[in-house]
Amino acid sequence: VITLTPEEALVSSRIRKLKEQAGSHSPSIISLNEQIPELNIQIDACFLSNPYATDVFLVYLKNELLSNDLKLRDVLEFYPSQNEVIANVLAHGLGVNVNNIFVGNGAVEVIQAVMHNFIKNKVVINVPTFSPYYEYVKEGKQVVYYALNKEDDFTINVDHYIAFIRANQPDTIVLINPNNPDGGYIAYEQLRKILVGLKQVENIIIDESFVHFAFEDENRTLITATELFKEFENVIVIKSMSKDFGIAGIRCGYGVMNKYKVMNLLKNGYLWNSNGLSEYFFRLYERDDFKQAYEVVRKRYIADAQQFFQALRDIPHIRVYPSKANFALLELLDGTTSADFVSKLLIKYGVYTRNCSDKIGLHGEFVRIAGRTRDQNEAIIAALRDMYGA
Ligand SMILES: *Cc1c(COP(=O)(O)O)cnc(C)c1O
């Protein structure tokens, strides 16, 4: 069992205070470093992004924007394009009509817009989940939780789920694929089966913010629910670019949905909700040269992450749940609390991970750990071995 020294316990209580201020999200590295300067954070395995993708974006940014005063000035001085104009940039690549796309200031804005505007009476949310899905449900609407169980590795039993939804008759359901925080994945054909079985549900939200890390074949071919939207009008695809493109700071996300839903949202505002940098990214995202550079680092990162999860499985006293995302959910089996695990790893080894004790629907001691660069993954494994004396 991992326990803290008295000094570590003091620092740990200060970390807990910061966490309380951050609500259901984790304090950022920036605020941790600011508030607890004696922490020597080496690796952020709490935040869930592909660091190789950030490198690719930075090269473009430096070569095309930062080294060109006129272009940089345009991005800063002028209004970015309106929502529909950026939607038009995305339409071709996504293979849907411009009026099916709603661009958000990060996916969280899309989640907020959809949860506020389209839930009529009742929503079913699978737990554990990404907290904004239940936090943004307006008062007076009913939230029903569907439990994903650790005994099933947090996977969905499709027939059971369909029966549950039919019995509860919600107007809105939420599927995050792969799911945060467990990395559980619903294969494309299974997802399609759910949609075939639930045509009567008005809004089927599919959040595929981690889908660039998922795969079903050796080639790591990208599989997206946008294809399913083309077949099922009740689908609302929500996509964050933050994690898989490593650009959370510039706030890029979008939703794909039926055109009446997009019209409904745009008449309530959201005109210039992107910024100059996010518009630059969205235009880059549609370019072949960028796509090719990105595909290389997407596949490299998936390989590294899966290798990392495999190495984690050799650490004693922890269970590593199967994941098709870029993070793994760990369950601590030896009586160590998730708070002590996270504090020890942070204070003694400089590795920041996510304590999942605030996640509804998790029963036990759980920590989420993100894959980083290959070198950093190796350093994390070494730290864990040392921590457990393995
Ligand atoms: C992080 C996350 C988001 C939000 O992403 P932003 O684009 O940064 O707002 C949305 N959905 C899930 C499942 C996430 O984990």
- 94: Cα within 13 Å, side-chain hemisphere: 28
pLDDT at 38 over 90: no
- Residues, the chain, total? 390
* Burial of 301 (C-beta count, 10 Å sphere; 0-12/13-18/19+): buried
Ligand 1 site, residue 26, Cβ cutoff 6 A: no
* Residue 28 confidence (pLDDT): 86
What is the DSSP secondary-structure string of 299-358? HHHHHHHHHHHHHHTTSTTEEE---SSSEEEEEE-SS--HHHHHHHHHHHH-EE-EE-TT
User: Quick one: what percent of the chain has pLDDT higher than 90?
Assistant: 92
What is the whole-number distance in angstroms between the Cα of residue 242 and the centre of ligand 1? 7
What is the whole-number distance in angstroms between the Cα of residue 107 and the centre of ligand 1? 5
* Residue 243 confidence (pLDDT): 97
pLDDT, tens digit, 9 for 90 and up, residues 55-106:
999 999 999 999 988 899 999 999 999 999 999 999 999 999 999 999 999 9
pTM of the model: 0.96
Ligand 1 site, residue 49, Cβ cutoff 6 A: no
* Residue 24 confidence (pLDDT): 82
Which of 209, 237, 281, 354 has most ligand 1 atoms within 8 Å of its beta carbon, as the pocket-test mutant?
209
Ligand 1 site, residue 256, Cβ cutoff 6 A: no
pLDDT at 219 over 90: yes
What is the whole-number distance in angstroms between the Cα of residue 251 and the centre of ligand 1? 10
Our CA dihedral for 320, 324, 326, 331, rounded to 10 degrees, sits at: -20
* Burial of 247 (C-beta count, 10 Å sphere; 0-12/13-18/19+): buried
| Mean pLDDT (whole number) for 291-298 | 98
C-alpha 164 chain-centroid distance: 26
* Residue 20 confidence (pLDDT): 87
| Mean pLDDT (whole number) for 165-186 | 98
Ligand 1 site, residue 228, Cβ cutoff 6 A: no
Alpha-helical regions (H) of the chain:
6-21, 29-35, 51-60, 69-77, 83-94, 107-118, 132-135, 158-168, 188-197, 226-231, 259-266, 276-285, 288-312, 338-349, 374-387
Ligand 1 site, residue 279, Cβ cutoff 6 A: no
Q: Determine the atom of ligand 1 nearest the C-alpha atom of 111.
A: 10
| Mean pLDDT (whole number) for 340-354 | 95
Expressed in angstroms, the distance from the first to the final Cα of the chain is 13
Cα–Cα dist 303/298, whole Å: 9
Ligand 1 site, residue 108, Cβ cutoff 6 A: yes
Ligand 1 site, residue 4, Cβ cutoff 6 A: no
Cα–Cα dist 390/379, whole Å: 14
Q: Strand, helix or coil at 242?
A: coil
| Residues 10 and 39: beta-carbon distance below 8 Å | no
Check residue 36 and report its DSSP letter.
-
What is the whole-number distance in angstroms between the Cα of residue 316 and the centre of ligand 1? 31
* Residue 297 confidence (pLDDT): 98
